[in-house]
Structure 1
Amino acid sequence: MLLMIEMGLLFISDRPRSRLTAGTTAVTSHTSEYRINDGENGNIRVSQGGIYRCRGSRGEPAVYSDKSDAVTISITLSVTQKPSWSQMFRGETITLTCEVQGGEGVQWEYEWRTPQSQTFRTNRKDWTFTASISGDYSCKSRPTDDSYSATKWSEAVRLSVSGKNFILTGTTTVSVGDRVTLSCSVEKSAGWKYEWFRRTSHTSEYRINDGENGNIRVSQGGIYRCRGSRGESTIYSDKSDEVTISITLSVTQKPSWSQMFRGETITLTCEVQGGEGVQWEYEWRTPQSQTFRTNRKVWTFTASISGDYSCKSRSTDDSYSGTKWSEAVRVSVSDLHPSASLSVSPDRVQHFTSDSLSLTCEGNSAEWRVGSFLLPDLLSFCSDWGTMNGSTCHVQKIQSSNAVFWCESGSAFSNAVNITGHNDDLILLSPVHPVTEGHSVTLGCKWRTENLLSKVFFYQNDTLIQSESRVEMIIPAVSKSHEGFYKCQSSGKESPQSWLAVTFKSSSFFFFIFTVLFSFIFLKCYFLTRKILSFS
Structure 2
Amino acid sequence: IVMYVCLPVLGLISLVQSGHAQAWYQPTLSVQPNWSQIFSGESVTLTCSFPKGRVTDWTFYWYRENTQFHHTDENYYIIRGITVDQSSKYYCYVSEKRVTLTVTATLTVEPRWSPVFTGESVTLKCEIQSHSNWRYQWYKGSRRTAVSQSQTNTFTIRSAADQDQYWCRGERDYRPSSSQFSNRVNLTVKETPKPELTSSHKGAALIGNPVVLYCELDQSAGWRFYWSKHTQSPENETKTETHSYTISSVSVSDGGQYWCRAGRGNPVYYTHYSDAHWINTTRASFSVFSLLSSFMAVSPYLLVSIVLGVKCYRARGKNSFSVTADYTLF
Give the TM-score normalised by the residue count of structure 1: 0.34
Residues 1:37 and 2:64 aligned together: no
Contact 1:98 1:125 in 2 (8 A): yes
Partner Cα distance (2:100, 2:139) in 1: 25
Q: Which residue of the other structure, out of 167, 173, 184, is the alignment partner of 2:196?
A: 167
Counterpart for residue 218 of structure 2: 187
Q: Which residue of the other structure, out of 125, 133, 138, is the alignment partner of 1:107?
A: 133
Contact 1:182 1:217 in 2 (8 A): yes
Contact 2:101 2:179 in 1 (8 A): no
User: 1 or 2, which has the higher strand percentage?
Assistant: 1
Counterpart for residue 120 of structure 1: 147
Q: Classify 1:116/1:130 alpha carbon distance in 2 versus 1 (closer, same or farther; 3 Å).
A: farther
Contact 2:135 2:171 in 1 (8 A): yes
Residues 1:131 and 2:157 aligned together: yes
Q: Which residue of the other structure, out of 225, 228, 231, is the alignment partner of 2:259?
A: 225
Contact 1:222 1:244 in 2 (8 A): yes
Q: Classify 1:142/1:82 alpha carbon distance in 2 versus 1 (closer, same or farther; 3 Å).
A: same
**Larger relative contact order (Cα-Cα within 8 Å, sequence gap ≥ 6):** 2
Identity of aligned residues (%): 28
Post-superposition CA distance 1:3-26 (Å, at most 9, x none): xxxxxxxxxxxxxxxxxxxxxxxx
Contact 1:197 1:225 in 2 (8 A): yes
Partner Cα distance (2:98, 2:175) in 1: 19
Partner Cα distance (2:232, 2:126) in 1: 45
Kindly state the Cα deviation for residue 73 of structure 1 after the two structures are TM-superposed: 3.2
- Letter aligned with residue 285 of structure 2: V
SS in 1 for 2:285: strand
- Letter aligned with residue 237 of structure 1: T
SS in 2 for 1:76: coil
Partner Cα distance (1:110, 1:205) in 2: 44
Counterpart for residue 83 of structure 1: 111
Residues 1:178 and 2:178 aligned together: no
Contact 1:75 1:149 in 2 (8 A): no
SS in 1 for 2:287: strand
Partner Cα distance (1:116, 1:169) in 2: 44
Partner Cα distance (1:107, 1:164) in 2: 39
Q: Which residue of the other structure, out of 268, 275, 292, is the alignment partner of 1:234?
A: 268
Between Structure 1 and Structure 2, how many residues are aligned? 216
Kindly state the Cα deviation for residue 70 of structure 1 after the two structures are TM-superposed: 6.6
Partner Cα distance (2:98, 2:241) in 1: 60
Q: Classify 1:215/1:74 alpha carbon distance in 2 versus 1 (closer, same or farther; 3 Å).
A: same
Post-superposition CA distance 1:53-81 (Å, at most 9, x none): 96699xxxxxxxxxxx9752342112111
Partner Cα distance (2:245, 2:210) in 1: 9
Post-superposition CA distance 1:427-465 (Å, at most 9, x none): xxxxxxxxxxxxxxxxxxxxxxxxxxxxxxxxxxxxxxx
Partner Cα distance (1:116, 1:175) in 2: 61
1:288-307 matches, cutoff 5 A:
none
Post-superposition CA distance 1:127-184 (Å, at most 9, x none): 11112322211112200x2497234542221112212322333324233322222222
Counterpart for residue 185 of structure 2: 157
- Letter aligned with residue 274 of structure 2: S
Kindly state the Cα deviation for residue 226 of structure 1 after the two structures are TM-superposed: 0.9
Q: Classify 1:155/1:31 alpha carbon distance in 2 versus 1 (closer, same or farther; 3 Å).
A: farther
Q: Which runs of 5+ in 2 are unaligned?
A: 1-18, 26-49, 57-71, 77-96, 316-330
Q: Classify 1:181/1:190 alpha carbon distance in 2 versus 1 (closer, same or farther; 3 Å).
A: same
Q: Classify 1:55/1:179 alpha carbon distance in 2 versus 1 (closer, same or farther; 3 Å).
A: farther
Partner Cα distance (2:75, 2:174) in 1: 26
- Letter aligned with residue 127 of structure 2: E
1:34-433 matches, cutoff 5 A:
36-37=53-54, 71-103=99-131, 106-115=132-141, 117=143, 119-122=146-149, 124-132=150-158, 133-143=162-172, 145-146=173-174, 149-165=177-193, 166-173=195-202, 174-199=205-230, 204-206=231-233, 207-218=236-247, 219=250, 220-247=254-281, 250-256=284-290, 410=314
Q: Classify 1:241/1:147 alpha carbon distance in 2 versus 1 (closer, same or farther; 3 Å).
A: farther
SS in 2 for 1:190: coil
Partner Cα distance (2:99, 2:166) in 1: 30
Contact 1:195 1:212 in 2 (8 A): no
Contact 1:97 1:127 in 2 (8 A): yes
Give the TM-score normalised by the residue count of structure 2: 0.52
Contact 2:232 2:259 in 1 (8 A): no
User: 1 or 2, which has the higher helix percentage?
Assistant: 2
Partner Cα distance (1:182, 1:255) in 2: 34
- Letter aligned with residue 178 of structure 1: N
SS in 2 for 1:101: coil
1:499-518 matches, cutoff 5 A:
none
